[in-house]
Amino acid sequence: MLAVHPTDVAVRQSIEGGSGIVESIVTEVEHDTADAARESAQAKIRTYCQEAEKFTFDSQSRELVWNVGELMVAQGILNPASNIAFQISFVPYPNQRGQTPVVINEVTVTGQDTWAGEILQARDNEIITALPDDPSISTEKGTVR
């Protein structure tokens, strides 16, 4: 568990105008070959971030878990993808000025192909404050000032 002195938090909050940064993270799952079951997605948020919305989150490991459930063949390709949106708050450290820090480490999605019985696994890149999947956030906007 990260112990943070209140003065340190106040200094970090002042970096972005007093409130820190709140990011909306949106992720989706798609599957193309066969039906799959017991799909879930896990990711870890950095120690300097906090979850702002409640769902399965382990504060010791910093792991977020989304139990997707079942996905049908071509879900996210020929029909809508399963997706989730959640918010985290980010209060930067002084040494992160001029950077686009990582807020969520690599995402891992696992499940089981219900036809072949094989375990499926996919990974997605870490997410930085510039939010590369969000066209409304430029690198400039995602850079800590």
The verdict on domain 6-142 having CATH code 2.60.40.10 is yes
Question: Distance between CA atoms of 131 and 25, rounded to whole angstroms?
Answer: 8
Q: Taking the domains of the chain in order of start, what are their residue ranges?
A: 6-142
pTM for the full model?
A: 0.56
What DSSP designation does 58 have?
Answer: E
Per-residue model confidence (pLDDT) at position 31? 62
Per-residue model confidence (pLDDT) at position 96? 92
Per-residue model confidence (pLDDT) at position 52? 44
Residues of the chain with pLDDT under 70: 1-43, 45, 48-55, 85
Question: Distance between CA atoms of 99 and 25, rounded to whole angstroms?
Answer: 19
Per-residue model confidence (pLDDT) at position 100? 93
Per-residue model confidence (pLDDT) at position 2? 40
